[in-house]
Amino acid sequence: MEAEKDLFGKCPYTTAQKVLSGKWSILILYHLEIKTMRFGELQRQLPDLTQSTLTKQLRALEEYGLIERKIYPQVPPKVEYSLSDIGIKYKKVLAELAIWGNEYIETLKDKIN
């Protein structure tokens, strides 16, 4: 069997798992699906996320090509994050995750009652 690194870029499940491996990746992509955001806006939407972790997650998502970072030449610097073309295609996955997540929540409620 091939090692995981050998499957990256070949196996769709291994590739998706690697690209979305950050704990906050899905939530960051969800917020950027709604609108382009600056760092501080994202941080306010995700208050449990530290500044350093948000920075790390944004860099990883940018490296994998799911988001784009636009730097405006002004003082003070302005940086905006948005979904890339392939990130926009992830919207369908987010929609399906929401459906599944809501169904799972209902299942939990049924078990409690």
Q: Are 83 and 68 in contact (CB under 8 A)?
A: yes
Q: How many Å apart are CA 17 and CA 57, to the nearest integer?
A: 14
The reported pTM is 0.86
> Which domains occur in the chain, in start order?
4-112 (1.10.10.10)
Please give the pLDDT value at position 1: 44
Average pLDDT of every residue of the chain: 91
Using pLDDT thresholds of 50, 70 and 90, give the confidence band for residue 7.
Answer: confident
- Could you give the maximum distance between any two Cα atoms of the chain, in Å? 57
Using pLDDT thresholds of 50, 70 and 90, give the confidence band for residue 4.
Answer: low
- Dig out the tokens for 83 from the structure: 């979904």
Please give the pLDDT value at position 49: 93
